C-alpha cells in the first residue's frame, strides 16, 4: 500500500465544497445537549452518501459509522452537542446561518466540534477512494451530551456497546496542533442546608450561604496547588454555578 501523502491532500481538496456544505448544514441545526437528534440524522445521511460500511445510532443517541472489518479497532470521535448561543448581540454573524470565506467557516459548533465530524466523515471517504483499508476497523463516533456531561457518552459506549478501541483520536479543537491526551473532567455539586428566618432576626435561623463561604475559599486555594503533570499539563478547578433555593 504505497500512498503518497500528497494524494490524500489532493482528495481532501477535491472534496472541499462537500465538506464545507456538510459543516454548514450541521451548524444550521441547533444541537444543544440532549437536543442533538436532527444533527445526528444529518450526519447519518452524509455517512450513507460517502459509503460507510455500517452506520448505527444507539439508544443514547450516539452515531457510529464504520469503515473496514479488520482486527484492530480505531475510533475517531467528535461530540455533536454545542453550548447555547448566549447573547445574540455578541455575535457578528447569525450563529446558525454562519459565515464562510476562502479561509474560515464561522457559526455555533463550527470549531467545537462539528468541524471534527465533517473532517472525519470525509476521511472515511478518502480511505475508500484510495484503498487504504487494512487490518483495522475505523469507527467514527458522533457523541452526545458532552457539553453538559463530559465523558458520560463514552462511559455508555464502553459499558453498553462494548466498544473498546485500541486507539482513539479526539477531534476537539487544539489550534491545529496534535495533543497526546486529555486530563478529563469531574463535576461536583456541593450543597449546604440551613434554616430560614426573617431578616430582622437572622439569629433565629441558620444561614446556608455563610456555610458555603469557607468552602469557596478552600476551593479557590486548592486550585493553586493542583499538580502540573509533564504529560497532561496543569490541572484546574473553578466554581461555575451557584444556585439558591
Q: Which long-range contacts link 223-230 to residues 24+ away (Cβ below 8 Å)?
A: 229/183
Just list the catalytic residues. Answer: 81, 146
Residue 21 has pLDDT above 70, yes or no: yes
pLDDT digits (tens, 9 = 90+) for 115-134: 999 999 999 999 999 999 99
pLDDT at 1: 58
pLDDT (average), residues 98-106? 91
Residue 208 has pLDDT above 90, yes or no: yes
pLDDT (average), residues 169-185? 83
Least confident of 21-30, 120-129, 180-189, 190-199: 180-189
Q: Which grid cell sits at 34?
A: 440532549
Q: Which residue has the cell 437536543?
A: 35
Residue 70 has pLDDT above 80, yes or no: yes
Domain segments of the chain as ranges = 5-170, 187-245
Supply the angle between the helices 16-27 and 5-14 in degrees, to the nearest 10. 60
Residue 231 has pLDDT above 80, yes or no: no
Q: Which residue has the cell 440532549?
A: 34
Cα 229 to chain center, whole Å?
23
Give the closest residue to 11 by CA, choosing from 132, 125, 138: 125
Cα separation, 19 vs 25, in Å, equals: 10
Residue 95 has pLDDT above 90, yes or no: yes
pTM: 0.83
Q: Which fold has domain 5-170?
A: Aminopeptidase (3.40.630)
Asked if 219 and 236 count as a contact pair (C-beta separation under 8 A), the reply is: no
Amino acid at each position: 500500500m504505497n500512498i503518497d501523502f500528497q494524494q490524500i491532500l489532493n482528495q481532501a481538496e477535491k472534496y472541499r465544497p462537500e465538506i464545507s456544505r456538510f459543516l454548514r448544514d450541521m451548524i444550521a441545526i441547533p444541537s444543544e445537549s440532549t437536543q442533538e437528534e436532527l444533527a445526528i440524522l444529518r450526519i447519518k445521511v452524509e455517512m450513507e452518501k460517502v459509503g460507510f460500511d455500517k452506520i448505527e445510532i444507539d439508544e443514547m443517541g450516539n452515531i457510529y459509522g464504520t469503515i473496514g472489518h479488520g482486527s484492530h479497532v480505531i475510533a475517531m470521535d467528535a461530540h455533536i452537542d454545542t453550548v447555547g448561543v448566549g447573547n445574540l448581540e455578541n455575535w457578528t454573524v447569525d450563529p446558525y446561518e454562519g459565515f464562510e470565506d476562502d479561509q474560515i467557516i464561522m457559526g455555533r459548533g463550527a470549531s467545537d466540534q462539528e468541524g471534527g465530524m465533517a473532517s472525519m466523515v470525509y476521511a472515511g471517504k478518502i480511505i475508500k477512494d484510495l484503498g487504504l483499508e487494512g487490518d483495522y476497523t475505523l469507527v467514527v463516533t458522533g457523541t452526545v451530551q458532552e457539553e453538559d456531561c463530559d465523558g458520560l457518552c463514552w462511559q455508555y459506549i464502553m459499558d453498553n456497546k462494548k466498544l473498546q478501541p485500541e486507539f482513539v483520536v479526539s477531534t476537539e479543537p487544539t489550534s491545529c496542533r496534535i495533543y497526546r491526551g486529555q486530563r478529563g473532567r469531574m463535576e461536583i455539586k456541593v450543597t449546604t442546608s440551613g434554616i430560614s428566618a426573617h431578616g430582622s432576626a437572622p439569629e433565629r435561623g441558620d444561614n446556608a450561604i455563610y456555610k458555603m463561604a469557607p468552602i469557596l475559599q478552600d476551593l479557590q486555594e486548592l486550585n493553586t496547588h493542583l499538580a502540573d503533570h509533564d504529560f497532561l499539563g496543569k490541572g484546574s478547578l473553578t466554581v461555575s454555578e451557584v444556585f439558591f433555593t
